[in-house]
Chain A
Amino acid sequence: MTAIYSIIAGPLMWAVFAVFVIGCIWRVASLAWTARKKDIAVYEYWSNRYAARSIAHWIVPFRSQSMRQNPATTTASFVFHITAIVTPLFLSAHILLFDEAFGISWPALPNAIADAFTILAIVSLAFLVGRRILVPGVRYLTTWGDFALLALVALPFVTGFWAYHLMPGAGWATILHILSGQALLVAIPFTRLSHMLLFFFMRGYIGSEFGGVRKAQDW
């Protein structure tokens, strides 16, 4: 197990980070390049002011009509996105590993809060899965890939929780935790999870069109 751990936490981790970073850059750069050739409007009508205005309205809960009309989904979605980003970044165990590897560290969340966040992330994800199954309009659009991605996102949290609480098989859970986290990082640039990056460009573009050309709000 130690041997496996040393590989996945060592060279594999480097490889995963490399794929993640390069993948993200590639994803954005290739779209930017295509846009330059075929969607000149994206550049010509881009407005920092209106892009920021739009992003600001959609990154804050309940600032859009759409969010207000769906309070449960909005809550679940924001809880999920916040906990899913904050928890891994500010988990003391992760920071410790970072410190060991690069000598860089930053303030960590108290473990109890991180633990609560993990539960919130899992619960809110469960809500989103439930929504996919139970709401006909969402079920109609849902593909197996969507479930697979949700599972991929859920796995690091479930295994992390498992390992942290030293439940039976915690050692393997740790291995699984690392592997699933790595899989998630690798998946981000190449799947719908890329919305993590593209959100800002897409929102920014439509915000620019609505604000700059169409003189209307888009929220």
Chain B
Amino acid sequence: MKSPGDWEAGKRQIADLSLWKETFSYMEEPYAAPDGETLAAVVQTGEMEFSVCVNGQPWEAVFDKAWYPRFTPDGRLTALVSQEQQWTLAVDGVAWESGFDFAWNTQFAANGQGLAVFAQEGGEYKMALDGNGWEEGFSDMGDGALAPDGSACAAVVQVTSFSEGDIFTFKKGCYTVAVNGTAWEQAFVNCWTPVFSQDGKSVATQVRVNLYDYTVAVDGKPWDATFPCVWEPLFVPGSTSVVAPVKTPKGWTLARDGKPCWSSFFVQLLRQRFAPDNKTVAAVCAPKYGRWTVAIDGNPWKSTFDEAVWDVVFSPNSKRVAATAKDNGKWTVVCDGKAWDEKFDMVFAPVFSPDSGRVAARAIVNGKQALFVDGKMVAQDFSRAFDPVFGPQSDRLLIKGIKDEANRLVYSREVLVL
């Protein structure tokens, strides 16, 4: 993501939310754009009439319902909207021309380009990419994915119908993955979490081939080996090779193209991701029952946490890893195996500075949100804040948050010099 525009040090008020509340009879929680210059929230503009308010000004278009307002990584504002029983996606106030009986689950391409939604039309399910629904629908749809460049979308689909209670047809395999609306030839008992390769040309997914054996299928073809369980596959960047956590009699490990590629085994292994160098892999793991940490290329950190480890984030130079971990009821950030002293009721995904030297994170303490850099608080008392962004030189932090200031609820954008 490009660094958002204005890096002039100082604070600027963007919106007076108290005013919004006075203006609109109903308002939902707001969302801030990546550059912090815009704040948006669903508001009621009239009797059964809703819109999205942007910096105090609602979109011209109004809807029977609007929900899930979210910014794309490149700063466009989207919301799922309905008008006259037709649901679609509105982008910067303009609804797609195509409408559906229902639309939900907006998917954002990593580069900010593509936008897709799940859609139901006449009881048939499909994805719609940039307003274009698949030609054919399916009787049901499960997990979906959008290619990193937004060029293609895929979802788990049901290809054989069966009535409720028909456990026998089910076992024959009624599900597969449809890529841009075209289903793979082979069907499986189950498919979960399809994922695209970097170039958007290949799709891998978890499959259950019968009630007991699990594996990964790539472009419709399952791995030769099966396992008692597998989790989400991930393409090795720049290749058609796939890695996924697999369960073996010795424990969970990482497999590549069907063969274990780590020599270490864990009680649990989840959520693997590649470093920007496309070589190093890190994943959440439980080296022992009830102890959680991060394993990098199969080597777990020495420090472990008793409840959970959630986010795993690589630094831009691929050398550092930050994670969020929960221990003894409190969350914290762990960098390269070392936990911050500060503990939180909740913490959000940590963010590295472009030079990989700093880590920032948003956290909740006693119901208020605060921002931390390398374990030290830099801003606090927000009723709601948004993820911080480092400046291109890594020496500044963009802080976006809503605060009670002199009895006014105010959203400001502040660039802090670190």
Contact = CB atoms under 8 A, between A and B. Distances in A.
B289 interface: yes
B381 to A, nearest CB: 37
A81 B131 CA distance: 79
B290 interface: yes
Contacts of B290: 44
Interface in A25-55: 40, 44
Nearest to A40: B289
A44 B290 CA distance: 8
The B interface, classified by DSSP as helix, strand, loop or mixed, is: loop
Contacts of B289: 40, 44
A44 B289 CA distance: 8
B73 to A, nearest CB: 42
A40 B289 CA distance: 8
A40 B286 CA distance: 14
Interface residues of A, number: 2
A40 B290 CA distance: 10
A40 B268 CA distance: 14
Interface string A60-80: 000000000000000000000
B75 to A, nearest CB: 48
A107 to B, nearest CB: 47
Nearest to A43: B289
A108 B290 CA distance: 50
Interface in B283-304: 289-290
Interface in B245-293: 289-290
Contacts of A44: 289-290
B292 to A, nearest CB: 14
Nearest to B290: A44
Interface string B289-333: 110000000000000000000000000000000000000000000
Interface string A133-151: 0000000000000000000
Contacts of A40: 289
Nearest to B267: A40
A12 B378 CA distance: 79
A164 B254 CA distance: 71
Interface in B61-97: none
Interface string B124-168: 000000000000000000000000000000000000000000000
A47 B289 CA distance: 16
A21 B13 CA distance: 80
A44 B286 CA distance: 14
B306 to A, nearest CB: 11
A45 to B, nearest CB: 10
B39 to A, nearest CB: 45
Nearest to B289: A40
B142 to A, nearest CB: 32
B349 to A, nearest CB: 30
A131 to B, nearest CB: 42
A17 to B, nearest CB: 38
B248 to A, nearest CB: 15
B289 to A, nearest CB: 5
A164 B358 CA distance: 86
B250 to A, nearest CB: 12
B249 to A, nearest CB: 11
B288 to A, nearest CB: 9
A12 B289 CA distance: 46
A90 to B, nearest CB: 44
B84 to A, nearest CB: 53
A40 B291 CA distance: 13
Nearest to A41: B289
A122 B289 CA distance: 48
A219 to B, nearest CB: 28
A7 B290 CA distance: 55
A37 to B, nearest CB: 11
A214 B343 CA distance: 28
B79 to A, nearest CB: 44
B282 to A, nearest CB: 26
Interface in A145-191: none
A163 B290 CA distance: 59
Nearest to A45: B290
A217 to B, nearest CB: 25
A184 to B, nearest CB: 39
A98 to B, nearest CB: 45
B58 to A, nearest CB: 51
B268 to A, nearest CB: 12
B267 to A, nearest CB: 8
A32 B290 CA distance: 19
3 contacts: A40-B289, A44-B289, A44-B290
Interface of B: 289-290
A-B pairs, 3 with minimum CB distance? A40-B289, A44-B289, A44-B290
